[in-house]
Amino acid sequence: MGDTTAVSSLSRVLLPLLLHITILAAAAPLDPQQLLALRALGLGPHSRADPCTAVAAAAAAVSASCDAGAPFRRVTSLALTNCSDTTSVSAAALEALAPSLRALAFADCPAAPPRALPPEQLASGLRSFSCTASLRRLPAVWLSHLANLTELTVANTPLATSGSPTELAVVVSHMDHLARLTISNANLSGFLPHHWHCPNLTHLDLSGNRITGAIPDTLTLLAGITHLNLSSNVLNGPIPNSIGDLISLTTLDLSNNTLSGAIPETVSTLPELEVLDLGSNHLNGSIPMFLAEMRSLRELNLENNDFDGMVPFSAKFLSRLRVFRAAGNSKLCYNRSVLSAEVAVGVAPCDKYGFPVLPPPATARSERSADYDDGGGDGEGDAGADTRGGPSATVLGVAIGLSCLAFLVILLVCLCKVCRR
Ligand SMILES: *[C@@H]1O[C@H](CO)[C@@H](O)[C@H](O)[C@H]1NC(C)=O
Ligand SMILES: *[C@@H]1O[C@H](CO)[C@@H](O)[C@H](O)[C@H]1NC(C)=O
Ligand SMILES: *[C@@H]1O[C@H](CO)[C@@H](O)[C@H](O)[C@H]1NC(C)=O
Ligand SMILES: *[C@@H]1O[C@H](CO)[C@@H](O)[C@H](O)[C@H]1NC(C)=O
Ligand SMILES: *[C@@H]1O[C@H](CO)[C@@H](O)[C@H](O)[C@H]1NC(C)=O
Ligand SMILES: *[C@@H]1O[C@H](CO)[C@@H](O)[C@H](O)[C@H]1NC(C)=O
Ligand SMILES: *[C@@H]1O[C@H](CO)[C@@H](O)[C@H](O)[C@H]1NC(C)=O
Ligand SMILES: *[C@@H]1O[C@H](CO)[C@@H](O)[C@H](O)[C@H]1NC(C)=O
């Protein structure tokens, strides 16, 4: 009897206590320091006490996820979107968030960039950093301290650099754990690094910068890379043979540079390659036949280069591709008994010697059709030719118009002479 009262009174005390503890554990309040930091970064004063669970609002948004710590929960990931330009990323705010923050993202957030270097806890703790059209100008030095990142994205944001030609190498020199690196449209100049220390890198996007010089042979150090985008820079020299060592590549975009020379044969050893974009360079030689043997290939862009000879592909191969572009290669042509103008858009047909049929002289329409008929009449004839040659078609039209006018004038003159008689 006495025992049961003791147990029940004990449970009367313990149960509420336990309940209290579980409630605390389920919804411990956010660390007050960190809450202050979030407010400094633009969290509205009237938003709920727990921003960890707050759903991102429509306009300016601070969204956070938090751990389940006790007595206080702490912010592990933070995204600032569409913030006002009076926001600033203060050293104090970063200091408060540093112990727990693993991911930090800014998007459309024209806040003033951090002035001091990142606090040490942030530098070692942060795994993911992303800055898209944000922070006005992001100091490259600040970035370079984030040594433990696995993901780094800087897009549509100019980097404030020292202008050193090895700037990129300096920024990533301590980031051994990177898996994804994007520095795109960031006004980055200088050369590509000769040494990479990121064995786990799979995505590298440096598009839309002002990177110059050759693509180093040492690119082969990026053994596990699947996506490589170096488009819209000012890279020159040849595509290195070592590109063939990157056997996991699925996407290779080197378009809109000033690369020269031929497509290296080693490209044929990339079994997974799906997208090959070499458009808008100064590449030359013939288009290699082996491309047709690449089973995974879905997009092939060779436009605006200096390729010559005959397009070596069958209609069957081209029909398998989502994208095929080869226009803007003035010495390139296609065999009319193999391909039609619809698939070889913008490429001239070959004459019987395998050279492109020259743009037809405006007056000799009959001569042109004679030339075209050499490959066997598959009937896609003049309509195809006219859609193909946009500018020359206009020239032709104008010429015909002018000749008609001249003819009319002559006719009128003759008529007048006849009348006067
Ligand atoms: C950004 O904020 C403006 C108002 O400040 C709002 O009109 C706009 O819809 C917001 N954009 C997004 C993507 O949330
Ligand atoms: C990276 O993170 C690991 C694990 O958290 C830590 O031990 C290491 O010190 C960090 N490295 C740097 C350079 O901060
Ligand atoms: C690369 O990834 C593996 C597996 O995720 C991991 O064990 C290893 O530590 C990583 N290496 C580096 C340098 O981060
Ligand atoms: C890009 O960099 C150059 C110098 O390297 C500088 O003059 C220019 O102002 C930068 N542009 C932007 C938008 O920051
Ligand atoms: C490479 O980057 C550019 C610009 O950022 C983008 O337009 C293009 O789609 C990318 N290429 C591939 C193959 O994803
Ligand atoms: C090609 O690169 C130049 C700068 O190098 C850029 O201004 C232009 O927009 C790029 N073109 C395309 C189609 O991306
Ligand atoms: C291709 O261009 C390089 C110079 O960039 C030149 O040395 C080479 O002879 C050219 N090859 C062909 C087949 O035109
Ligand atoms: C075009 O292809 C046909 C059929 O394959 C072939 O007989 C002909 O020689 C080719 N034309 C040229 C100019 O190589």
pLDDT at 416 (0 to 100): 59
Distance separating alpha carbons of residues 382 and 370, to the nearest angstrom = 11
Distance 128 CA to ligand 5 centre (A): 21
Pocket of ligand 1 (CB under 6 A): 58-60, 82
CB 149 within 8 A of CB 126: yes
Q: Evaluate: CB of 120 within 6 angstroms of ligand 2.
A: no
CB-based contacts of 101, cutoff 8 Å, min separation 6: 75, 76, 77, 78, 122, 125, 126
Tokens of 386: 């006219």
Task: List the residue whose alpha carbon is closest to atom 1 of ligand 5.
Answer: 229
Which residue type is seen at 124? S
Distance 385 CA to ligand 8 centre (A): 19
Distance separating alpha carbons of residues 309 and 354, to the nearest angstrom = 7
Distance 150 CA to ligand 3 centre (A): 10
* Mean pLDDT within 294-310: 97
- Report the SS3 class of residue 234: strand
Burial of 35-61, coded b for 16+ CB within 10 Å and e otherwise, reads bebbebbbbeeeeeeebbebeeeeebb
pLDDT at residue 363 is higher than 50: no
Task: List the residue whose alpha carbon is closest to atom 2 of ligand 5.
Answer: 207
pLDDT at 365 (0 to 100): 41
Higher pLDDT, 306 or 5: 306
CB-based contacts of 8, cutoff 8 Å, min separation 6: none
Distance 160 CA to ligand 6 centre (A): 21
Ligand 6 atom showing the smallest separation from residue 256 Cα: 1
Higher pLDDT, 57 or 242: 242
> Which of the 8 DSSP states describes residue 257?
S
* End-to-end CA, the chain: 147
pLDDT at residue 5 is higher than 80: no
pLDDT tens column, 367-386: 333 344 343 333 333 333 33
pLDDT at 172 (0 to 100): 94
Which residue type is seen at 279? G
- pTM, to two decimals: 0.82
CB 198 within 8 A of CB 223: no
Tell me the backbone φ, ψ of residue 391, rounded to 5 degrees: -65, -40
Chain-centre distance of CA 166, in angstroms? 22
Q: Evaluate: CB of 209 within 6 angstroms of ligand 4.
A: no
Q: What mean pLDDT value characterizes the chain?
A: 83
pLDDT tens column, 150-205: 999 999 999 999 989 999 999 999 999 999 999 999 999 999 999 999 999 999 99
pLDDT at 252 (0 to 100): 98
Read off the pLDDT band of 413 (50, 70, 90).
low
pLDDT tens column, 47-99: 555 677 654 444 558 888 889 888 899 999 999 998 888 888 889 999 999 99
Q: Which residues share a beta bridge with 190?
A: 211
Residue 86 has a CB neighbour count (10 Å cut-off) of: 9
Q: How many distinct helices (H) and strands (E) make up the chain? A: 10, 22
Residue spans of the domains in the chain: they are: 76-84+101-353
Ligand 7 atom showing the smallest separation from residue 284 Cα: 1
Per-residue H/E/C for 91-108:
HHHHHHHCCCCCEEEEEC
pLDDT at residue 279 is higher than 90: yes
Tokens of 420: 């006067």
pLDDT at 48 (0 to 100): 57
pLDDT tens column, 98-139: 999 999 999 999 988 888 999 999 999 999 999 999 999 999
Ligand 7 atom showing the smallest separation from residue 286 Cα: 13
Distance separating alpha carbons of residues 239 and 237, to the nearest angstrom = 7
Residue 71 has a CB neighbour count (10 Å cut-off) of: 9
Architecture of domain 76-84+101-353: Alpha-Beta Horseshoe (3.80)
CB-based contacts of 138, cutoff 8 Å, min separation 6: 113, 131, 154, 157, 158, 159, 160, 186
Chain-centre distance of CA 25, in angstroms? 43
Give the lowest-confidence range in 162-176, 214-228, 246-260, 353-367: 353-367
